[in-house]
Each structure stands twice: as structure tokens, then as C-alpha cells.
Amino acid sequence: MKKLIVSPAPHLHGEKTTRNLMRDVIIALSPSLLVSVYYFGFSAVKLALVGAVTAVLVEFVIQRYIIKGKITINDYSAALTGLLLALNLPPNSPWWIVFIGSVVAIGIAKMTYGGIGQNLFNPALVGRVFLLVSFPAIMTDWTIPASWFREGIDANTGATALSIVKEGLAKGIPMDQIFSENNFSYTQMLFSKIGGSVGEVSAFALILGFVYLLIRKVIKPHIPVAIIATVMVFSGIFWLIDPGHYTDPLFNVLTGGILIGSVFMATDYVTSPMSTRGMVFYGVGIGIITMLIRNFGSYPEGISFAILIMNACVPLINTYFKPKRFGREVNNG
Amino acid sequence: MSKTFSIGGIHPSDNKISVKAAIENFPLMEMAYISLSQHLGAPAEPVVAKGDKVKTGQLIAKANGFISANVHSSVSGTVSSIELLPDLAGNPVQHIVIKVEGDDWLENINRSSEIEREIKLSGPEILVKIAECGIVGLGGAAFPTHIKLSPPPGKKAEYLIINGAECEPYLTSDYRIMLEQPEEILIGAKIMMKALNVNKCFLGIEDNKPKAIKKMKGLCSKSYPQIKVVSLLKKYPQGGEKQLIDAIVKRQVPSMGLPIDTGVVVQNVGTALAVYEAVQKNKPLFEGIVTVTGKCMTEQRNFRMRVGTTFESMIFAVGGFPKDAEKLISGGPMMGKAVSRIDASSVKSTSALLLLTEKETKRGEEGNCIRCAKCVEACPMGLEPFLLNRLSRAGKIEELEANMVQDCIECGSCIYTCPANIPLLDTIRLSKAQVLKILRSRPKK
């Protein structure tokens, strides 16, 4: 008689795998990567490649020679971490910066916890913050490197919009003047460069990636929407009270890594909450901490720190914010 | 606008490839192997002995205890033995084996296809008739229908819901009867309404069956105004009792409670048809509609099949065993049981035989949980399968209870959706059984 396979139900499996989810995130990053290659040329290619290749190699070496366990580099997760790290660096960074960052991200922030799924903090952000505190000069040098596609680089390259505003205000220059002197415009922020890291040249490209992730059901909208809404409400209140000292909500959302941070960093599966209510709480927390750092701290940006701080709260959030249970919270009749 | 349940759910592809195959009578077998444990509850007690002559529809085993059901012969012939035979999982179960001789039905069964519309029996008489005819729930659990139609003291039914969702992929038996015997189903629903003494009934059908919805709506508006057809969004597990009640009347069965706690009784369309045949035609439940399907098969068909037909003969009726078929499933692919023996035979609630290839059914290698929360999103009970899996593996019974493992309906949405191929439901099922045992052993408040 023919031998049959016998196993408990269900007998079908969906099409999603860890590998194709990670691949989808990489695809979602590709519009931003293409725009940055257009703007920064070889420098962007170099950073992305060194970041991804180093991350994969570090994971391989640790799994093969130190843990001597299963090799999981095929799941694209390490490559994604390296790529995200590269996209969060200043465009003119030297190659060894992203190399060190990737070693820290994978070697310390991911593998010491036990590999994929186990880490408490977002590895790419740990890598980035490690670099920021270790090499502050390089990490705040926003010089735009030469590109194959673009000539005549304008002079407005010394800093990001947020740091220009922060420094300007510190010198006592009125807000209107800062804006007009630097030619800040929202169309420019949406489609092109106003200073910032490799991956956030174009807000439009990031939003395109966000839409792709939503359509493919890779992420839910809750975290990015909660962050962006909180940033807008928080900055809106301050802006309405004193527009001379505080930037407006749209400016806050379009600059300083809010989009890349909320869409690609804060939604990292491993380090974000499991229930939708928890996700909203987490997003609101990131928004508030970011704005506290921006308005009252010494760093002009702040979302990296905000996400890491909220990462630390995720186990607690998961304990207190349970999904809506069936048959427990309804009143029939 | 189609309605649906409020929490979780998944969208596996339909694969209803047998949808166009009209119901045909399955050829009569040579031997019938009739199980005495075809229902939830105690096995039935045989009332025939070896060598007895039986007719089609004759009582051969009677209900034994409160939760049990009568069993009738599905064929005419001679009882050749009463013995322990393996069921589909390979467990030994008492069977009455009958050598088939002709097809001689009991005289009091009305075999005409004319529709009997007038309900002559009273409510209590209906319940007696249903119990006599051995009707069980045909949605899967095979719970004796007369008990489900008798709410416990202090509970009153307000609505009857007829379940025509058929949310499992591949299955088409409910769809076919809704197309081919719609009025009989509606009369069956009316009979049950009378037994329950309710005057409002809903018939829920998923919107991937527009023809059935149209047909039923037409009939209801013409002749059955108390029955309302509800179009449901295609989403699994819409046909789960709790989900269906939530979708249609927006009430949620409390944890550890029964549907009747919300004033609703749910019955499957197949059960409604069986009730019609029992009450109006005096026909006991000894045959049912079985979909024989699978992408690896050359043809996919819907049969009216006598109880006690072997799976082997079903496969040979549709062109033999495909080379690449590796898994046989009795029922749908999400909640059906894997068949370990093809010499096992069908029971009253057998709704399908599905053949899958190894590629279609293979689970990938288990990886680390990436905490993507897809299982949390999919769980229709609002549980956290990733957490329950971890607690189950650690044997933390108290925490499992606090995280409501007992509410799991075992629909399998969590495993289906897990990108890391973690056998979530497998571990949850084990700990759920332990927790339920503890809960039941506690004194009631």
C-alpha cells in the first residue's frame, strides 16, 4: 500500500516566508536607493554595497566559526540591515565607516542576542548611533559628493535643514530669514535634496516604498502613521504658539529622517510591538521623544534615539497591550 | 456590502475546482463499513447481529447515552460482521460490516423528489424525529442535531443561523446542494425554526458563491420571508460558529461559552437538508454529499455517497491514485484530518476527500520567530499564537490560561500565515488540551 503523509491540520501554508518578506523590504527601499545613486553617484553605490556585503559576511563568519550553527544569510535579513545602515549615513562617509557600523550592527546588536528574531534593539540603528557617538565629525559632515549624473553642485551642502534651523535660531536669525536664505521649499523636500542621509533624498521615493510595503501586506500602517501624526500634532502646537522659534509640522515630517525612520526603521518586526494597540502606543512614543529631542535637546534630529528608547519598551508594551480578544470585551444584547 | 467577522482571518486561495460538477450518485459499493462512532459523544449500540438481513435506512445501532446518535444502514444486505476496524486516523473503532445485496429501501422512506412544503409535525415531534433519524451536524463536528436544537434550561434561542459559508478551500458540497436543492434547505431551516420556536433565520453565504446567493435570495423573498440571506466576505474562518455569529448578528460568544449564550443556534446547510429529508421524507441520515477533489487528480467531482464507502473506492471512482498525491485529507485543507488508511470509510459528516501533492502540503523548515505579528493579525480569536507557542514549549500552564489558550478554535490561520514555518497550532493544541482538562476539573462557581 502507498505510504501517505499524515500530519495535523492545517495542510496548506501561505506564501509568505521570512526570506520573501525581507526581500520585499529591500524592493521597497530601491526607489530611495536609485534616487540616491542619481544624486550621489558612486558614493551611494559604495556605501550600500559595503554595508550589505559586510553585514552578510559578519553574520556568516559568526554562524560558521563561532556559533557553529545554522547559517541564515539566505534570509536577506543581514543584507537588509547593512543596506538600511548605509542609507542612514551621510552621503560623503568613507567606506570604513559603514564597514564598522555593519560589524557593530550584526556582530553586536544582532548576533550576541542569538540572531534573527532575538535582538532587543534595531541593529541598523545601533550601528548608526554607535557611529554617531564615535565619529561625530564624519557623521555630521553633509558634504555632497560628486555624481555621474549631476553637475554644478550648489553650495547649500554644509548641513541638514534641521541643523541649519537650529544653528540659525541659536544665532538669533528669524525663522523667515532662515527659510528664504536657504531656499527651503516643500516641493524640493518632497522630490529632491535638502541635506540629509543617503536614503532620504526624496520623500516621494520613501512614500512609494511605504505604499509598496502596505500593498504587499509586509507591514501595517499603524506605526508610521502614529509617528507622523504625533510629530505633526506636537510640532503643530509649538508652531502655533511661537512660529518664530519652532518649525511647522510639514517641515518637521519631511526632514531629519522621520520618513525613513518611521517607515523602515521603526517597523522592524523584531523590535516593534505585536499588537496593533501596542504599535500605536509605540509610534506615539517615538513621535514624542523625537520632538522632545528636536525642540529641547542638543541633537537636531532625534528619531534614531527615539526608536532605540522605544525598542527598549517593547517587551513591556507587549505585556500591557494585548490584542482585542474575541468574546472578552463585548456586551451582547 | 458583504459582512464579515471583526477580528483576524486569512485569505487562502479558493481552489474550488469542483465547483461546476453537478452532484451524481456514487456507485453502490460491495461492502459497507459503517462506523458506530460517527458523531461526537458515546458510540452507538448495535441492534443487529451477524447474519441479519437489513434494508437501506434500517436502524442498526441506537444512541447510547445523552450525547450520541442513531446509526442506520446505508445499504441493504446481510450483516457479515461487527468488529473493530481502523478509522481514518488508524484508531480501532466498532464497525458494522454489511455485504451489499441490491438496494432495497425501507418502505416508509419517501423517495420521490417532489418537495414537501407543509410542516405537519409539532416542535417536540420534530426533535424526536431528528433524533430517530440520527441527524448530526454536517459542518464538521458531527454534534447530534437534536441536542443542539434543545437549548438548556434558562437559555432561549432568538435566531437560527444557517451556515452556507463554506470557507474552506476546495470544498464545494455545500455549494452544490444550495444550487441543486435550495428549497429543501430552506424548508429544513423552517423546520428547525419551528423546533426552536424562533421566527428569524439568517442564511450566511460567502460572496464567492454569487449564484447560490442569488438563487437563495430569490426563493426567500418569494416564499420564505422569515429567512434572510446574508452575503459574507470571502474570508477564512468565516464558517466557524463564533465567527459566523459575529459576522451576521454582531454578537460574540463569550469565552468558554456556547453559541446559545448569544441567543443563536447555528446549523450547516447540509444539516438543514438532512433535517428536511428526515422530517418531510422520513429518511434517516445515511448518505451525504462528498467532494472528491485535488489539483493532482484528472477530474474533480461531487458525489451523493452512502455512509461506509471506503476512501479507496472514492479515489478509484475518479481515475485512480495520482502518482504525485502524497496526502489524503478528509474534509478541507485547513481543518480536515489527514487520512492514514485508505481502507477506512466515510462517515455521516464526511464532506470531502482532498488529495494533495507533497509540494502543495509541505511545511518548510522551521526558522526563528521574527516577531512579525502576522499570527496575531490572523488569529480570529484575538490571541497571540507566537506567545502561546513559546509558553507551550516551556510548559507554563498558568500563563497559558492567562493568555486564553482555551479560546483557540484550532482554525490553523496562525500556521498558515507564519513566515518562519513555526508549527504554532501543533504546540498550542497540546497545551490547550492540558489547560481545558484543568479548567474542567475545577469546581463550578
Counting one residue from A and one from B, how many pairs have CB atoms under 8 Å apart? 167
How many Cα atoms sit within 13 Å of B148 on the Cβ side?
Answer: 30
**Are residues B304 and B266 part of one domain?**
no
Q: What is the pLDDT of residue A193?
A: 59
Report the b/e string of A114-140 with b at 16+ CB within 10 A.
ebbbebebbbbbbbbbbbbeebeebbb
Inter-residue contact B232 to B238 (CB < 8 Å): yes
The CA distance from B442 to B436, in Å, is 10
pLDDT along chain B (445 residues), means of 10: 92 93 94 92 92 95 91 96 92 95 93 92 95 91 92 92 95 96 96 96 96 96 95 95 95 91 95 96 95 92 95 90 90 94 92 93 91 96 96 95 94 96 96 92 77
Q: How far is B24 from chain A (nearest CA, A)?
A: 27
For residue A333, the chain B residues in CB contact (below 8 A) are 251
Residues B242 and B296 in one domain: no
Q: Look at residue B418 in the predicted model and tell me its pLDDT.
A: 96
Residue A283 lies in a domain: yes
Residue A73 CA to residue A59 CA, distance in Å, equals: 7
Q: In terms of DSSP bridges, do strands B337-338 and B325-330 run parallel, antiparallel, or are they unpaired?
A: antiparallel
Q: What is the pLDDT at residue A151?
A: 55
Q: CB contact, 8 Å: B417 with chain A?
A: yes
Cα gap A302→B342, rounded to integer Å = 65
Question: Residues of B with CB below 8 A from A74's CB?
Answer: none
Which residue from B339, B372, B416 is facing A10, i.e. has the nearest CB? B416
**Phi, psi dihedrals of residue A329, rounded to the nearest 5°:** -120, 25
Domain count, chain B: 3
Whether A26 and A132 share a structural domain: yes
Q: Report chain B residues whose CB lies below 8 A from the CB of A25.
A: none
* Structural domain contains residue A202: no
**Within this chain, do residues B187 and B310 fall inside the same structural domain, yes or no?**
no
Predicted pLDDT of residue A152: 47
The answer to whether residue A11 is domain-embedded is no
What distance in Å separates the CA atoms of residue B419 and residue A18, rounded to the nearest whole number?
5
A74 touches chain B (CB under 8 A): no
Output the nine-digit C-alpha cell for B40: 461526537
Task: Clarify whether residues B134 and B241 are in a common domain.
Answer: yes
- The partner residue sitting opposite A323, judged by closest CB among B255, B335, B376, is B376
Q: Is residue A313 part of a domain?
A: yes
On whether any CB of chain B is under 8 Å from the CB of A192, the answer is no
Q: Do A8 and B425 touch (CB under 8 A)?
A: yes
CATH number of the domain at B243, please: 3.40.50.11540
The CA–CA distances, whole Å, from A258 to A91, A203, A290, A320 equal 17, 10, 9, 27
A333 vs B251: CB contact, 8 Å cut-off? yes
Q: How far is B345 from chain A (nearest CA, A)?
A: 16
Tell how far CA B290 is from the center of its chain: 11
* Other CB atoms within 10 Å distance of the CB of residue B365: 8
Chain A contacts in chain B segment 50-109 (CB below 8 A): 89
CB contact under 8 A, A325 and B404: yes
CB-based contact (8 Å) between B363 and chain A?
A: yes
In sequence order, which ranges of B181-332 are alpha helices (DSSP H)?
Answer: 182-196, 210-223, 241-249, 269-281, 311-317
Q: Which domain holds residue A313?
A: 219-320
Say if A331 is an interface residue toward chain B (CB within 8 Å). no
What are residue B339's phi and psi, to 5 degrees? -90, 125
- Tell me the average confidence (pLDDT) per consecutive run of 10 residues in chain A, 333 residues long: 84 93 96 89 92 97 92 94 95 94 96 93 96 91 68 54 80 81 72 72 91 96 97 94 87 87 96 96 97 88 94 96 84 54
Q: Residue B256 has which C-alpha cell? A: 468558554
The reply to whether B266 and B143 lie within a common domain is: yes
* The amino acid at B21: A
**Within this chain, do residues B263 and B131 fall inside the same structural domain, yes or no?**
yes
Distance of alpha carbon A333 from alpha carbon A327, whole angstroms: 13
B309 and B434 share one domain: no
Domain boundary among B360, B389, B411: B360
Please indicate, yes or no, if residue A13 is contained in any of the structural domains.
no
Q: List the single residue in A with minimal CA-CA distance to B367.
A: A18
Residue type (1 letter), B280: Q
Within 8 A of A117 by CB-CB distance, chain B residues are 368-371, 420
Name the domain count of chain A.
Answer: 2
For an interface test with B, give the residue of A2, A6, A12 to mutate (most B CBs within 10 A): A12
B300 and B266 belong to one structural domain: no
Verify that B380 and B344 share a domain, yes or no.
Answer: no
Contact indicator for B386, A30 with CB cutoff of 8 Å: no
B49 and B99 both lie in a single domain: yes
Q: What is the 3-state secondary structure (H, E, C) of chain A?
A: CCCCCCCCCCCCCCCCCHHHHHHHHHHHHHHHHHHHHHHHCHHHHHHHHHHHHHHHHHHHHHHHHHCCCCCCHHHCHHHHHHHHHHHCCCCCCCHHHHHHHHHHHHHHHHHHHCCCCCCCCCHHHHHHHHHHHHCHHHHCCCCCCCCCCCCCCCCCCCCCHHHHHHHHHHCCCCHHHHHHHCCCCHHHHHHCCCCCCHHHCCHHHHHHHHHHHHHCCCCCCHHHHHHHHHHHHHHHHHHHHCCCCCCCHHHHHHCCCHHHHHHHHCCCCCCCCCCHHHHHHHHHHHHHHHHHHHHHCCCCCCHHHHHHHHHHHHHHHHHHCCCCCCCCCCCCC
pLDDT at B176: 96
Structural domain contains residue A120: yes
CA distance A303 to chain B (A): 22
b/e B298-313 (16+ beta carbons within 10 angstroms → b): eebbbbbbbbbbbbbb
The verdict on residue B261 lying in a domain is: yes
B231 shares a domain with B254: yes
Measured distance CA(B52)–CA(A201) in Å, rounded: 87
Which pLDDT tens digit goes with each residue over A4-55? 889 999 999 998 999 999 999 999 999 999 988 888 888 899 999 999 999 9
In a domain, B104, yes or no: yes
What range defines the domain where residue B58 resides? 27-109+285-360
pTM to 2 decimal places: 0.91
Q: CA–CA separation, A253 vs A251, rounded Å?
A: 5
Phi, psi of A267 (to 5 degrees): -90, 5
Say whether residue A15 is in contact with chain B using an 8 A CB cutoff.
no
Residue A204 lies in a domain: no
CB contact under 8 A, B382 and A118: no
Same domain? For B140 and B52 the reply is: no
Cα–Cα distance measured from residue B69 to residue B50, given in angstroms and rounded to the nearest whole number: 21
Same domain? For A29 and A133 the reply is: yes
Q: Show which of residues 218-277 on chain B sit within 8 Å of chain A, judged by CB atoms.
A: 242, 246, 251-255, 257, 261-263
Grid coordinates in use for B386? 507566537
Residue of A nearest to B12 (CA): A14
- Specify the pLDDT at position A330: 59
Tracing cell 437559555 back to the chain, one arrives at: B155
Residue B368 in any domain: the answer is no
Give the CATH number of the domain where residue B73 resides.
3.10.20.600
Is some CB atom of chain A closer than 8 A to the CB atom of B381?
Answer: yes
Tell whether B373 lies on the interface with A, counting CB pairs under 8 A.
yes
What is the C-alpha separation between B403 and B385, in angstroms, rounded?
Answer: 10
How far apart are the two ends of chain A, measured CA to CA in Å?
56
